[in-house]
Amino acid sequence: MSEAFPDIPVNCCAALTSCSLTNTCLDKNLGIARLEEAIVDIRASIQKAGGQLIVKMEPKAVTETDDAELQALMEKRERENAEVSGDESLSESDENIPAAV
């Protein structure tokens, strides 16, 4: 990529089931078009390897506030996924059950 068109970072999380693309551009329409082109290239690469790409949210221009809110939401979802109920070895309902002999 040239200095006028820097690389687009891809942030993957959740075992490659969720990724985000970001781009900083003064021209909103150009920035969105670049992200759309990147998605086409990424889809082709993934399909060539036998995988599938599902775009859950089309590219859009956001403010810094929107970006911060999205980051907070992604972090919340990641914490929720890590705190899945039933992961504990003992639950409250197991407290009154006598140990097996």
Looking at mean pLDDT, say which of 35-44, 47-56, 92-101 comes out highest. Answer: 35-44
pLDDT value at residue 44? 92
The answer, yes or no, to whether residue 54 has pLDDT greater than 60, is: yes
Domain spans of the chain, in order of start: 7-60
The whole-angstrom separation of Cα 44 and Cα 17 is 17
Q: How many CB atoms lie within 10 A of CB 35?
A: 19
pLDDT value at residue 1? 45
- Indicate the pTM of the whole model: 0.55
